[in-house]
């Protein structure tokens, strides 16, 4: 008999505790149950993660109670949580906490305290003042009735009190008058409600789509299918493939899970899913209110919703009948969680597919080097779609389906522009294209990569970037102020900047006054902001309506949707934006995409900088010409020779991959090596350095003691973002050959290292800045 339960408590102790299961509770306790247990002198909430027949301890206490009828954690998600804790080196209670949304943990714990007010039948269409007069209501009560007329499905008592100004007693008064009912219950809210989603119907698949679907369908029917990598150019109809695959899974009685990089940026995509599967969709993401999240979670848990869509944490959604997982834009770095456990949702999804035997599709126009390598190696199945579908409506109002060319991409050498006297941030070709496009009343996107702007030092005459004499890394300009305070809008030299630092080996040198290569004095830091670009466009083209879209202008809830609608509705001619506009938008009227400065991000001291640059440029370029031919893309750069730019110019993922994989192999970076980054932050830089040196020594000793060939350490060195929130940051990066990946995880190397207090441990970091 399983009479001992292993329980994880919401306290940071990284261990499981044994409790006796009393006979009275035996029928209610199952794997994943939420239970109350005695702990010290207090009572705590925990989760049952396993059972045992014996324990090392003899003084076990019994469980006190079980909360909720259905266990919060499914067995699969529990397995996933345990794997995640081990792999990402996180305490088990952190892992368990991560797989349960806060909304769910909270609600379940206070289940009984949740009172809702429901309007009673027959009164919902009456006019409240009238009802109020008849029933002699106070103004507060009338206001409450008014609100209930809108909230026909009921509303939490606490919220009604807050919104109406009527006290809880007054609401009780309404109940006595027979106008409302108060009960402990939950009410379903639907995040998609109120948004116009018209049902849509699938089109006939193109031959490429049909071929992909054949394999995917087979995969859905198979028990342990391999991961599928769907590499389709932008606009090749990947989303349509996902939609059909999901329909198939649903017909077989299965649930599906769709991960998107960032929900706020993918409203368009979510609308497409909602339109195809009305009523069956649950949306989970951090932008939802607690209540909404809780409801969506429960609809999935009960199997009412058949499809979950959301950003990274949706991978933990409770889907008892999961059969298909889609990871859209699988290369996106936003899939990495930036707090412990530092999981990569795509990799967690692959693990989940393995645990549940589900089919899994990773989709991207620019797959990550790791995924593509796995596909080339035969570990994943590679599906390619090379042609763009010209969808949408034709002039005749009928749907069209034709093959569209990808827009031509032109690289403009900004060194030449400067040499010929053009000091504007727009090259002559971009100015001409802007004038022509605006003249035809077509739309323009101007893109700026802000990541790493104003960090490296480059010669404007020859394009030389100052690098470390010891490593080949570009050196980074350091300021006396913190990075967050630095305005990206200073393309003139910065008097406050002082030192150049290498982020691999710690080398430091003063900022030179002249270019070491051509002796030009025009050597300075690099960076331009969206505001400056928008102003320059307005000055040059006063009639153009310019819309700025970046973190600052889109910080409010719903701002993305509004901006998207404004641009789609033709209320602006030029959209100026950062990374966020590069993703998945389908904007039919855009016929010119200009990349103002492709160089930012190219020179970051990060092994992924080339990959990121290629992905971003390809994605932005993909925004042009999605409905008709004749569109163009112009990329301004000081480094037209850079392989990432060359490949982006040709829309040539494979050319990029061939170069990149050679570099990764040579350096032992992923996918040939596994990285673990250790980061230490402190208000004292000396403390950072000291801790980093101590840890480095421990790691090196352990590598030697275990005779681990091919293992190495990068650093210790200051992090690229050397200061954040008032603290200094130092890091070191452990690199193990891929063949030794298993020796890294918990139970082996990282465990043997012993506890390392105060350090952030990041297994498989997506960036090392
Ligand atoms: P991706 O996800 O690869 O960028 P989408 O699925 O968004 O591509 O497709 C691009 C455009 O082509 C969309 O407007 C879509 O409606 C349309 N489309 C996709 N598949 C077809 C098809 N088989 N027939 C007609 N139009 C299609
Ligand atoms: Zn160096
Ligand atoms: Zn120079």
Q: What is the 3-state secondary structure (H, E, C) of 11-68?
A: CCCCCEEEEECCCCCCCCCCCCCEEEEEECCEEEEEEEEEEECCCCCCCCCECCEEEC
Q: What is the pLDDT of residue 103?
A: 60
Closest-approaching ligand to the CA atom of 516: 3
Torsion sign across C-alpha atoms 190, 191, 196, 199:
negative
Helix, strand or coil for residue 533?
A: helix
- List the end-to-end C-alpha distance of the chain, in Å, as a whole number: 52
Best of 201, 232, 235 to mutate for ligand 1, by most ligand atoms within 8 A of CB?
235
Q: Which atom of ligand 1 is nearest to the CA of 588?
A: 14
pLDDT band at 426 (very low <50, low <70, confident <90, very high): very high
> DSSP code of 349?
H
Q: For ligand 1, atom 18, which residue shows the shortest CA distance?
A: 391
Q: Which of 129-133, 433-437, 570-574, 763-767 has the lowest mean pLDDT?
A: 129-133
Q: For ligand 1, atom 26, which residue shows the shortest CA distance?
A: 391
92: left (phi over 0), alpha (psi -120 to 50) or beta: alpha
Q: Return the closest-CA partner of residue 642 out of 665, 612, 620, 669.
A: 612
CB-based pocket (< 6 A), ligand 1: 203-206, 209, 232, 234-240, 389, 391-392, 401, 586
The count of residues in the chain is 769
**C-alpha 715 to ligand 2 mean position (Å):** 9
Q: For ligand 1, atom 27, which residue shows the shortest CA distance?
A: 391
**C-alpha 236 to ligand 1 mean position (Å):** 6
Q: What is the pLDDT of residue 124?
A: 47
Q: CA–CA separation, 333 vs 607, rounded Å? A: 13
**C-alpha 327 to ligand 1 mean position (Å):** 17
Mean pLDDT, rounded, for 534-549: 90
**C-alpha 506 to ligand 2 mean position (Å):** 6
Q: Which atom of ligand 1 is nearest to the CA of 584?
A: 4
Mean pLDDT, rounded, for 704-715: 89
Burial class of 269 by CB neighbour count within 10 A (0 to 12, 13 to 18, 19+): buried
Q: What is the pLDDT of residue 230?
A: 98
Half-sphere exposure of 582 (CA within 13 A, CB side): 23
- Please say if the pLDDT value at position 192 is more than 90: no
Q: Which of 103-112, 199-208, 305-314, 730-739 has the lowest mean pLDDT?
A: 103-112
Q: For ligand 1, atom 20, which residue shows the shortest CA distance?
A: 237
**C-alpha 346 to ligand 1 mean position (Å):** 24
The winner for highest mean pLDDT among 8-22, 153-167, 337-351, 454-468 is: 337-351
**C-alpha 415 to ligand 3 mean position (Å):** 10
Q: For ligand 1, atom 13, which residue shows the shortest CA distance?
A: 391
* pTM strictly above 0.95: no
Q: For ligand 1, atom 12, which residue shows the shortest CA distance?
A: 391
Q: For ligand 1, atom 10, which residue shows the shortest CA distance?
A: 235
Q: For ligand 1, atom 5, which residue shows the shortest CA distance?
A: 237
Q: What is the pLDDT of residue 488?
A: 36
**C-alpha 468 to ligand 2 mean position (Å):** 5
Which pLDDT tens digit goes with each residue over 344-379?
999 999 999 999 999 999 999 999 999 999 999 999
Q: Which atom of ligand 1 is nearest to the CA of 622?
A: 4
**C-alpha 503 to ligand 2 mean position (Å):** 7
Q: Cα–Cα distances in Å, from 308 out to 223, 270, 322, 326?
A: 21, 10, 10, 10
Q: Which residues contact 765 (CB under 8 A, 6 or more apart)?
A: 336, 342, 675, 676, 677, 733
Q: What is the pLDDT of residue 202?
A: 74
Q: CA–CA separation, 449 vs 648, rounded Å? A: 15
| Tokens standing for residue 680 | 């230490």
- Please say if the pLDDT value at position 429 is more than 70: yes
List 309's β-bridge partners, or say none: 258, 283
Only one residue has tokens 């990959």, namely 611
Q: CA–CA separation, 700 vs 734, rounded Å? A: 10
| Tokens standing for residue 674 | 């596994």
**C-alpha 475 to ligand 2 mean position (Å):** 8
Q: Which of 2-16, 27-41, 249-263 has the lowest mean pLDDT?
A: 2-16
**C-alpha 373 to ligand 1 mean position (Å):** 27
Q: What is the pLDDT of residue 626?
A: 66
Q: For ligand 1, atom 11, which residue shows the shortest CA distance?
A: 391
Mean pLDDT, rounded, for 496-515: 76
Comparing 53 with 555, which gets the higher pLDDT? Answer: 53
Q: What is the pLDDT of residue 296?
A: 84
The 8 Å CB, 24+ separation contacts for 42-46 are 44/9, 44/10, 44/11, 45/9, 45/10, 45/109, 46/7, 46/8, 46/9, 46/10, 46/17
**C-alpha 728 to ligand 2 mean position (Å):** 19
Best of 362, 387, 389 to mutate for ligand 1, by most ligand atoms within 8 A of CB?
389
Q: For ligand 1, atom 4, which residue shows the shortest CA distance?
A: 235
Q: What is the 3-state secondary structure (H, E, C) of 667-687?
A: HCCCCCEEEEEEEEEECCHHH
Q: Which atom of ligand 1 is nearest to the CA of 401?
A: 25
Q: Which atom of ligand 1 is nearest to the CA of 390?
A: 12
Q: Which of 1-5, 494-498, 532-536, 761-765 has the lowest mean pLDDT?
A: 494-498
Exposure string for 421-451, b = 16+ CB within 10 A, e = fewer: eeeebbbebbbebbeebbeeebbbbbbbbbb
Comparing 620 with 346, which gets the higher pLDDT? Answer: 346
pLDDT band at 299 (very low <50, low <70, confident <90, very high): confident
pLDDT band at 574 (very low <50, low <70, confident <90, very high): very high
> DSSP code of 440?
T
Q: For ligand 1, atom 19, which residue shows the shortest CA distance?
A: 237
Closest-approaching ligand to the CA atom of 584: 1
* Contact call for residues 309 and 270 (beta carbons, < 8 A): yes
**C-alpha 134 to ligand 2 mean position (Å):** 82
Closest-approaching ligand to the CA atom of 235: 1
**C-alpha 408 to ligand 1 mean position (Å):** 20
Q: For ligand 1, atom 6, which residue shows the shortest CA distance?
A: 237
């Amino acid at each position: 008999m399983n009479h001992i339960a292993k329980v994880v408590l919401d306290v940071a102790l990284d261990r499981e505790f044994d409790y006796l299961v009393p006979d009275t509770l035996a029928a209610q306790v199952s794997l994943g149950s939420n239970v109350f247990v005695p702990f010290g002198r207090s009572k705590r909430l925990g989760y049952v993660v396993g059972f045992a027949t014996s324990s090392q301890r003899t003084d076990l206490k019994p469980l006190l109670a079980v909360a909720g009828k259905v266990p919060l954690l499914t067995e699969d998600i529990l397995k996933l949580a345990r794997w995640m804790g081990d792999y990402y080196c996180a305490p088990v209670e952190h892992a368990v906490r991560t797989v349960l949304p806060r909304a769910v943990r909270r609600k379940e714990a206070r289940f009984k305290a949740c009172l809702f007010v429901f309007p009673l039948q027959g009164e919902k269409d009456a006019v409240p003042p009238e009802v109020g007069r008849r029933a002699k209501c106070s103004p507060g009560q009338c206001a409450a009735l008014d609100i209930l007329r809108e909230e026909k499905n009921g509303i939490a008592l606490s919220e009604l009190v807050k919104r109406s100004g009527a006290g809880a007693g007054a609401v009780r008064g309404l109940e006595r008058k027979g106008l409302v009912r108060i009960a402990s219950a939950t009410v379903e809210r639907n995040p998609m409600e109120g948004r116009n989603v018209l049902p849509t119907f699938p089109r006939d698949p193109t031959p490429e789509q049909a071929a992909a679907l054949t394999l995917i369908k087979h995969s859905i029917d198979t028990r342990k299918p391999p991961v599928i990598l769907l590499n389709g150019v932008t606009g090749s109809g990947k989303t349509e493939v996902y939609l059909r695959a999901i329909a198939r899974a649903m017909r077989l009685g299965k649930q599906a899970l769709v991960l998107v990089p960032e929900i706020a940026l993918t409203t368009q995509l979510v609308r497409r899913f909602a339109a195809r599967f009305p009523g069956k969709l649950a949306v989970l993401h951090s932008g939802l209110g607690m209540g909404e999240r809780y409801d969506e979670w429960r609809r999935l848990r009960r199997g009412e919703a058949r499809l979950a869509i959301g950003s990274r944490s949706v991978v933990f959604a409770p889907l008892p009948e999961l059969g298909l997982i889609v990871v859209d834009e699988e290369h996106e770095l936003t899939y990495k969680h930036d707090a412990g456990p530092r999981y990569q949702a795509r990799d967690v999804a692959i693990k989940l597919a393995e645990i549940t035997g589900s089919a899994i599709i990773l989709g991207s126009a620019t797959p990550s080097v790791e995924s593509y390598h796995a596909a080339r190696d035969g570990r994943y199945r590679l599906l390619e779609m090379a042609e763009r579908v010209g969808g949408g409506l034709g002039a005749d109002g009928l749907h069209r389906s034709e093959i569209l060319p990808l827009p031509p991409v032109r690289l403009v050498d900004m060194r030449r522009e400067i040499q010929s006297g053009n000091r504007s941030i727009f090259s002559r070709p971009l100015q001409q294209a802007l004038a022509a496009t605006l003249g035809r009343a077509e739309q323009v996107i101007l893109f700026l990569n802000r990541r790493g702007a104003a960090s490296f030092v480059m010669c404007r005459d020859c394009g030389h970037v100052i690098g470390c004499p010891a490593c080949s890394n570009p050196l980074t300009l350091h300021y006396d102020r913190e990075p967050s305070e630095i305005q990206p809008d200073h393309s003139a030299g910065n008097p406050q900047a002082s030192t150049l630092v290498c982020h691999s080996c710690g080398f430091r040198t003063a900022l030179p006054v002249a270019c070491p290569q051509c002796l030009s004095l025009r050597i300075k830091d690099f960076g331009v902001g969206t505001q400056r670009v928008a102003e320059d466009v307005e000055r040059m083209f006063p009639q153009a309506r310019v819309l700025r879209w970046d973190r600052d202008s889109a910080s409010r809830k719903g701002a993305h949707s509004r901006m998207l609608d404004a641009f789609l509705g033709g209320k602006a001619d030029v959209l100026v934006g950062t990374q966020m506009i590069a993703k998945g938008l389908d904007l039919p009227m855009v016929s010119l995409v200009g990349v103002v400065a492709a160089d930012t991000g190219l020179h970051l001291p990060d092994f992924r900088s080339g990959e990121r640059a290629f992905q971003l440029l390809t994605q932005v370029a993909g925004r042009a010409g999605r409905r008709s031919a004749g569109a163009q893309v112009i990329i301004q750069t000081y480094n037209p020779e850079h392989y990432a730019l060359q490949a982006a110019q040709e829309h040539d993922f494979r050319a990029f991959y061939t170069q990149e994989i050679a570099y990764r192999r040579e350096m032992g970076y992923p996918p040939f090596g596994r990285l673990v980054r250790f980061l230490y932050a402190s208000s004292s830089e000396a403390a950072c350095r000291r801790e980093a040196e101590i840890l480095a020594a421990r790691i090196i000793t352990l590598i030697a003691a275990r005779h681990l060939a091919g293992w190495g350490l990068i650093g210790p060195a200051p992090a690229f973002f050397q200061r954040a929130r008032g603290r200094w940051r130092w890091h070191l990066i452990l690199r193990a050959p891929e063949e030794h990946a298993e020796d890294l995880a918990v139970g082996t190397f990282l465990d043997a290292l012993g506890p390392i207090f105060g350090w952030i441990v990041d297994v498989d970091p997506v960036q090392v800045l």
